[in-house]
C-alpha cells in the first residue's frame, strides 16, 4: 500500500430542514388550527481514529465528505427526520489542521478517539410554534440554517518512543531490522528508505519500545534537497532521538561535517525537535575495529563538544546493540515515571 501522510479534505455538515406551514382540514373541523411540524437538524461530520488504518491514501481519491441534510417538517405536526451523521476514519496519530486559519483542531492519538469536525445546521420551526391567544392562525415559519463547512489538512504522524535520523546509508534501516521484526529495504545506495517505518523492539518479556526509521537527510534538506524534511514531523512525538553516524566514511575529515549537517537541518525544521534528547550512535565499527573506532569517536566528541550520551555499535555483527536498547528502555521508563 502506498504511504501517504498528508491530505486535504472538505467537510460539509448537513443543512437543517425547513419548518412547515399547515392547518388541520378535517371533516368536522374545516378550518382547524395550525399543525405544521418542525424540520430536522442537519447531520454532523466527525473524525475518528482507527488503528487498523496506516495511511491517508484513501483521501486522495475522495476529498469531499458531506453529512445528510435534515428533512423538512410536514403537516399533522410531523417533525422532519434528523440527518445522519458522517464519521471519517483516519489513522491513529493524525493531526487535523484548519487550512484557512492554520489552527490545530485536534490530535488523534488514541484508538477510537472521536471529535466533531463540523456541526450540522439547526432545524426550522413550523407554524404550530407561533400560535398564541391573539394569533390563532399563524402563517409564519422559519428556515433551517446551513451546516458548517471546513477545509482541513490531515497530517499523519507516527507514534513512536524512539526516532532515528541521519544521512543516507548510515545504517538506520539495518539497525531497525536487527532490533525489531520490521522488514525495511536494505541496499548499498542512498535513499533505499523512501517512507517512514515502525518497529517494535522487545528488550525482555516485560519491556519494549517502538522505534521509527525515516528516510535519510542530506545537506539542504530544509530547502527541499533530496526527500526534504517532510518526514521529520514523524519524530515530533518521540521521547528520544538517535542520530546514526557512519564512523567509517570515505573521507574521515567529513565526520564532523556530517554531524553538523543533520544538526543544522534539525534546527531549521523545529526548535522543539532540536531540543529533544538526542544520542549519537556511531555505526559500522566493524569496518575499523573497536579500538580504532573508539579513538575516532572520542576525537569527534571532543571536536564538537558533545555532552550527551554516545554509543559505538555494529548493526551487522550485533555489537553494542544490547546495551543501547537497555539504556533506551531505562530512559523511557524514567521519563514516563516523571
Q: Are residues 166 and 139 in the same domain?
A: no
299 is in an annotated binding site: no
Average pLDDT value for residue range 266-288: 88
Q: Evaluate whether 79 touches 71 at the Cβ level (below 8 Å).
A: no
67 is in an annotated binding site: no
Any idea of the CA torsion for 27, 30, 32, 35, to the nearest 10 degrees? 70
Give domain status of residue 194, yes or no: yes
The whole-chain average pLDDT of the chain stands at: 87
Report the domain count for the chain.
2
Q: Are residues 118 and 166 in the same domain?
A: no
Q: Are residues 191 and 229 in the same domain?
A: yes
137 is in an annotated binding site: no
Of 156, 184, 212, which residue sits at a domain end?
156
Give domain status of residue 288, yes or no: yes
191 is in an annotated binding site: yes
Regarding beta strands 86-91 and 64-66, do their DSSP bridges make them parallel or antiparallel, or are they unpaired? Answer: unpaired
Q: Are residues 148 and 20 in the same domain?
A: yes
Average pLDDT value for residue range 167-190: 75
52 is in an annotated binding site: no
Q: Are residues 144 and 26 in the same domain?
A: yes
Q: Select the more confidently predicted residue: 218 or 63.
A: 63
Question: Quick one: what percent of the chain has pLDDT higher than 90?
Answer: 41
pLDDT in tens, 229-276: 777 888 888 889 999 998 888 666 778 888 888 888 888 888 888 888
Q: Are residues 62 and 34 in the same domain?
A: yes
> Is residue 323 classed as helix, strand or coil in its secondary structure?
helix
Q: Which three cell numbers stand for residue 226?
A: 533530496
pLDDT in tens, 194-243: 677 788 888 887 788 888 888 888 777 767 666 667 778 888 888 899 99
Q: Are residues 81 and 142 in the same domain?
A: yes
What is the reported pLDDT for 1?
47
Average pLDDT value for residue range 73-94: 93
Question: Quick one: what percent of the chain has pLDDT higher than 70?
Answer: 93
105 is in an annotated binding site: no
255 is in an annotated binding site: no
Burial 250-281 (b: 16+ CB within 10 A, else e): eeeeebeebbebbebbbeebeeebeeeebbbb
Q: Are residues 172 and 314 in the same domain?
A: yes
- The domain of 318 spans 162-337
What is the reported pLDDT for 253?
72
Neighbouring-strand partners of residue 282? 245, 312
166 is in an annotated binding site: yes
Integer angstrom CA distances of residue 326 from 202, 281, 282, 294, 297? 10, 14, 17, 20, 21
CATH assignment at residue 41 = 2.70.210.12
Give domain status of residue 186, yes or no: yes
195 is in an annotated binding site: yes
286 is in an annotated binding site: yes
What is the reported pLDDT for 154?
94
Q: Are residues 193 and 268 in the same domain?
A: yes
Of 156, 184, 206, which residue sits at a domain end?
156
CATH assignment at residue 268 = 3.40.50.300
Of 156, 190, 214, which residue sits at a domain end?
156
142 is in an annotated binding site: no
Closest CA to 210 of 262, 263, 157, 247: 157
190 is in an annotated binding site: no
Q: Are residues 116 and 53 in the same domain?
A: yes
192 is in an annotated binding site: yes
Q: Are residues 173 and 152 in the same domain?
A: no
64 is in an annotated binding site: no
Q: Are residues 229 and 143 in the same domain?
A: no
Give domain status of residue 1, yes or no: no
Q: Where are the alpha helices (DSSP H) in the chain?
A: 172-179, 254-269, 271-274, 290-304, 321-337
Confidence of residue 22 (pLDDT cuts 50, 70, 90): very high
Give domain status of residue 256, yes or no: yes
What is the reported pLDDT for 2?
58
Amino acid at each position: 500500500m502506498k504511504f501517504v501522510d498528508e491530505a486535504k479534505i472538505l467537510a460539509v455538515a448537513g443543512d437543517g430542514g425547513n419548518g412547515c406551514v399547515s392547518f388541520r382540514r378535517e371533516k368536522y373541523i374545516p378550518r382547524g388550527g395550525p399543525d405544521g411540524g418542525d424540520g430536522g437538524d442537519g447531520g454532523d461530520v466527525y473524525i475518528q481514529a482507527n488503528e487498523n488504518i496506516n495511511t491517508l491514501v484513501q483521501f486522495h481519491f475522495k476529498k469531499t465528505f458531506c453529512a445528510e441534510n435534515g428533512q423538512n417538517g410536514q403537516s399533522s405536526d410531523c417533525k422532519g427526520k434528523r440527518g445522519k451523521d458522517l464519521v471519517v476514519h483516519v489513522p491513529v496519530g493524525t493531526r487535523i489542521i484548519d487550512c484557512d486559519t492554520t489552527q490545530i483542531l485536534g490530535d488523534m492519538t488514541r484508538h477510537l478517539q472521536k471529535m466533531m469536525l463540523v456541526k450540522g445546521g439547526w432545524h426550522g420551526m413550523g407554524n404550530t410554534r407561533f400560535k398564541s391567544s391573539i394569533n390563532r392562525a399563524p402563517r409564519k415559519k422559519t428556515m433551517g440554517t446551513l451546516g458548517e463547512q471546513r477545509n482541513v489538512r490531515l497530517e499523519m504522524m507516527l507514534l513512536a518512543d524512539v526516532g532515528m535520523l541521519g544521512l543516507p546509508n548510515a545504517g538506520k534501516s539495518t539497525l531497525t531490522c536487527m532490533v525489531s521484526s520490521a522488514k525495511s529495504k536494505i541496499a548499498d545506495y542512498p535513499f533505499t528508505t523512501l517512507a517512514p517505518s515502525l518497529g517494535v523492539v522487545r528488550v525482555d518479556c516485560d519491556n519494549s519500545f517502538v522505534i521509527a526509521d525515516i528516510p535519510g537527510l542530506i545537506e539542504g534538506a530544509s530547502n527541499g534537497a533530496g526527500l526534504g524534511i517532510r518526514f521529520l514531523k514523524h519524530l515530533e512525538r518521540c521521547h528520544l532521538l538517535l542520530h546514526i553516524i557512519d564512523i567509517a566514511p570515505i573521507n574521515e575529515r567529513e565526520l564532523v561535517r556530517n554531524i553538523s549537517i543533520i544538526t543544522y537541518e534539525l534546527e531549521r525544521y523545529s526548535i522543539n525537535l532540536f531540543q529533544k534528547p538526542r544520542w549519537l550512535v556511531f555505526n559500522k565499527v566493524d569496518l575499523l575495529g573497536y579500538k580504532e573506532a573508539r579513538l575516532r569517536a572520542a576525537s569527534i566528541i571532543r571536536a564538537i563538544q558533545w555532552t550527551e550520551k554516545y554509543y559505538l555499535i555494529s548493526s551487522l555483527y550485533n555489537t553494542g546493540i544490547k546495551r543501547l536498547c537497555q539504556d533506551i528502555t531505562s530512559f523511557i521508563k524514567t521519563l514516563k515515571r516523571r
